Structure 1
Amino acid sequence: MSSTTLVVAPEVAEALAAGGPVVALESTIISHGLPRPRNLEVARAVEQAVREEGAVPATIGVVGGVARVGLDEEALQLLATSDDVDKASVRDLGTVAALRRDAATTVAATSALAARAGIQVFATGGLGGVHREASATWDESADLVALARTPLVVVCAGVKSILDVPATLERLESLSVPVLGFRSRRFPGFYLSDSGYELDWQVDSAEQVADVVRARRELGIHRETVLVANPLPVNEQVDPALHDAVLQQALSELREGHVTGKAVTPFLLERFHERTGGESLRANIAIILANSRLAARIAVALAS
């Protein structure tokens, strides 16, 4: 698939044409989620992890207005090092393309482009969701609506713990997005292995996830994403007491500074990076590597 606004890398296109396993990867974590130079190192490591599990990585981003499904080294370096990279959700993609901008894609935008290219599985870190005090602000991530519109498997570590977790789970239920806990019935809270909320369903292998996807297709109810929540092992999570202390202080500063909209998540994550002594960064990297490996195993199971 190739056009003036969307190009699929040859390796990815060949794998898709052959029915092989491909895993979509977002680029926001490269441009806006991790500090330099670790961001480029992690981007390469994540792609390598997918390859080691037998799948083809397809990191997605926009370069010069062209949405690229599968980035070469030059494009990876651009998104990792440039100070002029936009953060694009679905609503922004047309404008970014028309204005010939460089942009990193969010979960929502990555999902849309992955589905457009024919990819079945997407690995990310933590989803966006319903923000705290959303009943007053109406602040809800576009990720949730995207999950209801794209027939993918998305592997994540739950939603970021800075969000309103129970409201997000309720919203996912309303959108008919199935949430499967991987080897756990507890919904993870990104940095935390357990957000405090239980899930209805648990799967214990990549093959079981693939079976769920196939059953949904046979039933004709496969428009929505199948969300696989993959928690960090307890011994790899951020210390819960440290996490809660940093979160409460950061939320207070958020209100005092009148930070709203798209600035909320970067603001809070930056506070975590500053005040956890590197623990949140370590956990963030562990999450995306683990999710990428699991996503690759699911892609292999679906392709077999």
Structure 2
Amino acid sequence: MIEINYSSEVDKAKAEGRPIVALESTIITHGMPYPRNVETAQLVEQDIRDAGATPATMAVLNGILHVGLEPEQLQELGQAKNVAKISRADMAACIATGGTGATTVAATMIAARMAGISVFATGGIGGVHKGGATSFDISADLQELAQTPVNVICAGAKAILDLELTLEYLETQGVPVITYGQDTLPAFWSAQSDLTAPLRMDDLNEIAKAYCIRRDMGLPGGQLIANPIPVKAQIPIEELTPILAQAQQEADKLGVTGKAVTPFLLQRIFELTEGRSLEANIALVRNNAKLAAHLAKELHKLTK
């Protein structure tokens, strides 16, 4: 049996039948340094509460899957060293060996499904990496979206990825990609891109209905809701494009490959933007959390 520990806040919300929003924990352990990571996580959780829902940050602590963290657990995780970054492939192994792991998008979706939570807010999903057509370096997040019934609110795929191929992969897997409030896909740090959104929806009630209809039709998988970063917080795409190109060229020149690519690129982009990429990241995560809370409330109305 899998042991699931619900935080006191989430346990109460479940007992009272109130809307809950799942949150990942890799942003705490792998996204930014302490204490900024904990401060950001606390802000995001409070944004969800202020919008009328309950936050549930997912993590595996000493072999136990936690759905929601107590304040002291959040602090401890934010300062912990050598925390595993777990996805579908290694989540069960982490639990079986009594390990501690932070959940990626894919692992958070799995945990949310197990806990009966249908809405999850994150920053940006993984996707097809540059050169993925030959390297097959494709995030497990995409396949998870195709099979696990959770609404994922993000600011698009991370801009360091091949966004066009990522969109093609999602289309092949039958994942609804819905842009909230605009006709183009957002590009993480940028509100706009040159990619047309497959679907546009401006009404959260309609997004919630679409999720319920897919479920009633017996279709597997979830929905991806791309929520543009607030314009005042964005790094415009025309400014960001040469920065992304420079960071990628440096990675190629240094021979950075595999799992080392993403952290290298994110660090270089942070340096090249003089820290603006981090501030934009925080702004978009908070923006997504608020939208997720409102979507969770709409779903609650339809299913209670």
Q: Deviations over 1:26-63 (max 9, x none)?
A: 00011111222111000000000000011010000111
Secondary structure of 2:89's counterpart equals helix
**Deviation, structure 1 residue 78:** 1.7
User: What residue is the counterpart of 1:236 in the other structure?
Assistant: 233
Q: Equivalences for 1:110-121 in 2 at 5 Å? A: 110-121=108-119
Aligned-partner Cα distance in 2 for 1:99–1:284: 33
Aligned-partner Cα distance in 2 for 1:79–1:92: 19
User: What residue is the counterpart of 1:32 in the other structure?
Assistant: 30
> 236-245 or 171-180: which moved more?
236-245
Q: Deviations over 1:242-282 (max 9, x none)?
A: 42222111101211222222222111111111221121011
* One-letter code aligned to 1:214: C
Secondary structure of 2:99's counterpart equals coil
> 3-12 or 180-189: which moved more?
3-12
Aligned-partner Cα distance in 2 for 1:250–1:21: 41
Secondary structure of 1:195's counterpart equals coil
Query: 8 Å contact 2:193–2:237 — kept in the other structure?
Result: no
Q: Deviations over 1:190-215 (max 9, x none)?
A: 01111210013211132221121122
User: In the alignment, is residue 288 of structure 1 matched against residue 285 of structure 2?
Assistant: yes
Gaps of 5+ in 2: none
> 82-91 or 287-296: which moved more?
82-91
User: What residue is the counterpart of 2:151 in the other structure?
Assistant: 153
User: What residue is the counterpart of 1:215 in the other structure?
Assistant: 213
Q: Equivalences for 1:1-304 in 2 at 5 Å? A: 5-221=3-219, 223-304=220-301
> 91-100 or 7-16: which moved more?
7-16
Q: Deviations over 1:210-232 (max 9, x none)?
A: 121122233332x2111110011
> 77-86 or 234-243: which moved more?
234-243
Secondary structure of 2:235's counterpart equals coil
> 91-100 or 190-199: which moved more?
91-100
Aligned-partner Cα distance in 1 for 2:81–2:202: 42
> 13-22 or 153-162: which moved more?
13-22
Secondary structure of 1:197's counterpart equals coil
* One-letter code aligned to 2:121: A
**Deviation, structure 1 residue 4:** 5.5
- Equivalent pairs counted in the alignment come to 301
Query: 8 Å contact 1:182–1:228 — kept in the other structure?
Result: yes
Aligned-partner Cα distance in 1 for 2:264–2:51: 34
Q: Deviations over 1:134-169 (max 9, x none)?
A: 122110000001111111111000001110111000
Give the TM-score normalised by structure 2: 0.95
**Deviation, structure 1 residue 101:** 1.8
* One-letter code aligned to 1:22: I
**Deviation, structure 1 residue 17:** 4.3
* One-letter code aligned to 1:302: L
Give the TM-score normalised by structure 1: 0.95
Query: 8 Å contact 2:185–2:193 — kept in the other structure?
Result: yes
Aligned-partner Cα distance in 1 for 2:132–2:183: 26
Gaps of 5+ in 1: none
Query: 8 Å contact 2:51–2:290 — kept in the other structure?
Result: yes
- Calculate percent identity across the aligned residue pairs: 46
Aligned-partner Cα distance in 2 for 1:126–1:107: 9
Query: 8 Å contact 2:191–2:236 — kept in the other structure?
Result: no
Aligned-partner Cα distance in 1 for 2:114–2:255: 37
